[in-house]
Amino acid sequence: MSIFKNIFFIDFIKGLSLTLKYNVSKSITMRYPDEEKWLPYQRFRGLHTLNRDARGRELCVACELCAKMCPTKCITVVPMEDNTGIGISDRIAKVYEINLVRCLFCGLCEDACPTTAIRMGRDYELACFSLDCALAVKERLLEPREIPVDFDGGYVVKARLEKTKEGLKVMADLSKKKRWW
Amino acid sequence: MDINTLIEVALIVVKVVIVSMILFGLPIPLTWIERKIAGHIQLRLGPFRVGPHGILQPIADSIKLMFKEDIVPEKADKWLFKIAPLLAMVPAFAVYATIPFGDKMTIPFINKEVTLYISDMNVGILYVLAIGGISVYGIILGGWASNSKYAAMGGIRSAAQMISYEIALTFSCVAVVMISNSLSLLDIVNSQKGLWNIVYQPLGFIIFLIAGLAEINRIPFDLPEDEGTLAAGYHVEYSAMRFSFFMLTEYVAMVTASVLAVILFFGGWNAPMFMPEIPIFWFVAKVAFFVYFFMWIRFTLPRYRYDQLMTIGWKILLPLSLVNILITGLFLL
């Protein structure tokens, strides 16, 4: 049998037909960032978000639990008294900074937060040219994100690379989504 | 010298220029195609960023090669080191002096009939094999002159490999020559008007293909440039344009092997059964198939070990090719 196999190159033919099948099949390469982009699942741990409640008040009460829980001590919280209704109580964060260079994206701050103010978001394009932007300040964390919270994720969506004044940006079109596999 | 001789001479010069221009330009699409095939076989996309579908990638690469520093190692044999890429390249091109791309063709508008080959040598196949054999000098000398262990190993390996496989390659051609009763490539093609030689010579074709793969140093027999053990083999010390000469040689050699396979076994420019005869088209199509086949094999098979290579060459292919000649002779009696 093995002689028969050798004479007629059975193994070679098997291998060649397999590679030919691959050659004509569709590639699995994702053309990020020119044409496609991966939208992570909701469980993804990307750039943090500071959330507001339904009436638009800041959920953060500056309890500093996240700063205490943080294993790399990358969160700085300075509390401030304020009764003008910015926050849900009369205590808000005067300074809320996350040093993204030190951050592990472990998600322990999220677990520690009693008011679900801090959540891990789904932005992962954090590269930049200076260390300034590696410091996520309160205003940046409070900004609404491109991907809505209730969007389930786990899709590849159409995207394109755009050159803006702030730098390169990948614009995703959330309506045209497809499963990767 | 009358006007007709001048025209003939001018025609030959024009043909030589056209053929060598095509051969010089050929690696540009071939590298792109090879990388694309590599990509798609591995479920990737291959080059995609320079131009549509990465089609300008080889041009970017060649610009890069041209502007790179041309390094000659201090302890290298300078003269040999510089001349070795040319020694490898010139024979690869010289082979095409006898290769016929078609029979005859009438140029439209001026109604001049031209032959689609530079010359019809009566010892064509012998010339091709002999000149192809010189090509190994460039590789050996390139490896030796670099004064580097890897390069020397690559050169020595390639010498042993090419010499041992050249015998089987030549013997598989001998059987074809016996059938067509001529050494001229033109006559060999013309003798295949009805049935192609592959019908009479299946064993010969397989021997030719395997030995040809070894001759042109492609996977699964690319031991002279075995990345795993020899870094890059004989051209490890070469850079910039000298390196690209070696690459050019390799691609031209691959095309030569495809062309020879087509001429010797697949009826040259003869159309397959019941198909209309179109000048050059069938020839190019068959050659393109073989070029694809060589690339296809490259991304399918692993590399043979060196002792396996020698075993295949001396213990299997050589006796088989002799048996093939014997059987062919018995049938011709």
Domain that holds residue A141: 2-178
φ, ψ for residue B276, nearest 5 deg: -70, 145
**pLDDT value at residue A181:** 60
Give the gap in angstroms from C-alpha A42 to the nearest C-alpha of chain B.
28
Q: Which of A15, A18, A27 sits opposite B44 (nearest CB)?
A: A27
**pLDDT value at residue B142:** 83
Domain that holds residue B247: 68-332
Query: What pTM was computed for the model?
Result: 0.82
Q: What value of ipTM does the predicted structure carry?
A: 0.76
Query: pLDDT: is B41 or B112 the higher one?
Result: B41
Comparing C-alpha atoms, which of B132, B176, B170, B136 is closest to residue B156?
Answer: B136
The percentage of chain B sitting over the pLDDT mark of 70, rounded to a whole number, equals 98
**pLDDT value at residue A25:** 84
**pLDDT value at residue A108:** 92
Query: pLDDT: is B226 or B213 the higher one?
Result: B213
Structural contact between residues A54 and A96, judged by C-beta atoms closer than 8 angstroms: no
Comparing C-alpha atoms, which of A77, A78, A88 is closest to residue A53?
Answer: A88
Max Cα separation, chain B? 62
Q: % helix / strand / coil in chain A, to the nearest 5?
A: 20, 30, 50
Count of domains in chain B?
1
* CA dihedral sign of residues B23, B26, B30, B31: positive
Residue owning tokens 């070696």:
B246
CB atoms within 10 A of CB B201: 22
Q: Which residues of B220-229 are buried (b: 16+ CB within 10 A; e: fewer)?
A: bbbbbbbeee
Q: What is the CATH number of the domain that holds A169?
A: 3.30.70.3270
Mean pLDDT of A104-120: 90
**pLDDT value at residue A77:** 92
Assigned domain for B63 exists: no
DSSP conformation class of B160: H
Count of domains in chain A?
1
**pLDDT value at residue A71:** 93
Confidence of residue A33 (pLDDT cuts 50, 70, 90): confident
Residue A33: is the preceding peptide bond cis (ω within 30°)? yes
Report chain A's mean pLDDT, rounded to a whole number.
85
Q: Is A20 on the interface with B (CB under 8 A)?
A: yes
Q: List, for residues B169-196, the tens digit of each pLDDT value.
A: 889 888 888 888 888 888 888 888 878 8
Q: Which of A19, A28, A29 sits opposite B299 (nearest CB)?
A: A19
Q: Which of B39, B48, B300 sits opposite A16 (nearest CB)?
A: B300
Q: Is A149 on the interface with B (CB under 8 A)?
A: no
Lowest mean pLDDT among A50-54, A148-152, B69-73, B199-203: A148-152
Residue B86 pLDDT > 80, yes or no?
yes
Residues 300-329 of B with CB under 8 A from A: 300-301
Residue B53 pLDDT > 70, yes or no?
yes
Report chain B's mean pLDDT, rounded to a whole number.
84
Comparing C-alpha atoms, which of A73, A64, A124, A112 is closest to residue A92?
Answer: A64
Residue owning tokens 């010359």:
B119
**pLDDT value at residue A112:** 92
Residue B268 pLDDT > 80, yes or no?
no
Q: List, for residues A17-32, the tens digit of each pLDDT value.
A: 988 888 888 888 888 8
φ, ψ for residue B135, nearest 5 deg: -50, -30
Assigned domain for B288 exists: yes
CB atoms within 10 A of CB B20: 13
Give the gap in angstroms from C-alpha A51 to the nearest C-alpha of chain B.
39
Q: Supply B100's token pair.
A: 């016929």
